[in-house]
Structure 1
């Protein structure tokens, strides 16, 4: 493997940007240093992981402290960046950015955010490079965010599944009940390698209704950040996500009310959800064999919902 250190560049004032504030030093018990990450390109139903990252970097103070050499990591022909052509010349280039940020929560506690496109190549070297940065900046726990499509209704609280390098890190979270072989990701490999090297790491996957998997679903992003706060002690704002979730939720309700087939699918999902909660005492839908709406029903409604939302967004 090539030297991981040559895959990234650290800013000169990186350590200074992570120093705790004077108020935090005087008034607060030191919290574990946290790194939260999401890499675009893998499963992210409802774009929840991206929404969560964009929200954190928009509403909280942040500074880039390290950048990765994307020329070594990305296949541009598989994910072509956007360029702007202005009449007779190329005017702009949407340059891909894979970066590590220093961010401060509402209490002024510093933490790290790693986000950008998922590497297409050199996953092992990338994981080793992130491991070096974790060592350098004294990270105590790493938390990955994503979202998965599930047979759940939008009318019920968004569920979440957790996994971690140690069972006690997620003892209060819902977990898978069996073993499965799944397509890998750079984030999954990072968590695996961190655990093997003795670092604490966990992943949170929000549940998004099948029929909303391709549209933005801020309710799931809010769920992810709420669970990050519970798991790490960070004080993360979610007001803007809550407002967006309420707005989108009202729009979905209008669309469901206008379609008998959509209403029937949602009611079936509600019955399954409610019966599972009644039986288990919590919303676990990961090991249940009750009848589901058919794939054709879900697929037809997904296509209809997405087409309507695209039309709505273009008006």
Structure 2
């Protein structure tokens, strides 16, 4: 079995955490980042001062360079500006001056078990009291309703909300989900939130989801941040979506159908006697939707185009 020291270098002297039991928040790029909700949250948290790196993972052990080729610049006759991937833990402070740790970077492509052990070593080194992950997935939800979240944890006492569904569902695994399982087996509390992103804008930035995720993290950790910039950016994005939808009957019909499903479910959740079924509607075919969504997304990516 590989040792954690091979995969992560942890700084020995971090006086800011002496006598502290910080929270470790993690948001990894890749699989669980529809609407770039996690990436936007990390960018917001880092702000103008990214903070001190207190643990650095050996990225060559985890990163598949041929699958996700890092960018660089070719300037006339030479290469420059190589953007090397980094997987690090940074020391941060919230708005109240409370220190916490932020793990961010690309989701490991390989060595998930070794990654989990390496993170556990960071947790033990800094006496982390709680590990919290954030992510996002595309879902059949409308942009006109509040962002919904799935809450998960390796200790049921950490759950702070009920989820939109019960029962079991088989889903593709991720390094983050395995990390939560392995931390639980090692006796470390871990939980997280996954935001539901309207599937028709999952390729675009969706700041409202980032704000909802960080607000929920604050609720379970008592960390506080100024989320107004994310909310303002979210309102701007919603305005762009509304403007594009006005020109697309097909997309508008889909959104209306999603609204009916969303409202029917929440009526049933509030009133067990309510009708769970939304009004039946004729929706366009898959091919029609595909073509219309391509035009819709192109309009959001290029808002100044005449067509």
Considering the TM-score relative to the shorter chain, is it more than 0.5? Answer: yes
1:305 aligns to 2:304 (yes or no): no
1:247 alignment counterpart:
236
1:169 to 1:243, Cα distance in 2 relative to 1, 3 A? same
State the shift of 1:156 in Å: 0.6
Distance 1:38 1:294, change over 3 A: farther
- Residue in 2 aligned with 1:3? 3
CA RMSD of aligned residues (A): 2.3
Q: In structure 1, what is the equivalent of residue 17 of structure 2?
A: 18
Query: Corresponding residue for 1:169?
Result: 158
In structure 2, runs of 5+ residues without a counterpart are none
- Number of aligned residue pairs: give it: 299
Match of 1:137 in 2: 126
Separation in structure 2 between the aligned mates of residue 260 and residue 3 of structure 1, nearest angstrom = 57
Name the SS of the counterpart of 1:134 in structure 2: helix
Residues 195-234 of structure 1 aligned to structure 2 (within 5 Å): 195-234=184-223
Shift of 1:120: 1.2
Tell me by how many angstroms 1:295 deviates: 7.2
- Tell me the distance in 1 between the aligned counterparts of 2:197 and 2:208: 9
Q: Report the alpha carbon displacement of residue 65 of structure 1 after superposing the two structures with TM.
A: 1.0
Q: Indicate yes or no: 2:39 matched with 1:40.
A: no
Deviation at 1:19, TM superposition (A): 4.8
Whether contact under 8 Å (1:33, 1:141) holds in the other structure is: yes
C-alpha distance after superposition, 1:205-251 (max 9, x if no partner): 00110101111100111110010011111012211101100111111
Which residue matches 1:26?
A: none
Using the TM superposition, give the Cα deviation of residue 310 of structure 1 relative to its aligned residue in structure 2, in angstroms.
Answer: 2.0
Q: TM-score, normalised by structure 2?
A: 0.90
Does the CA-based 8 Å contact 1:211-1:298 persist in structure 2? Answer: no
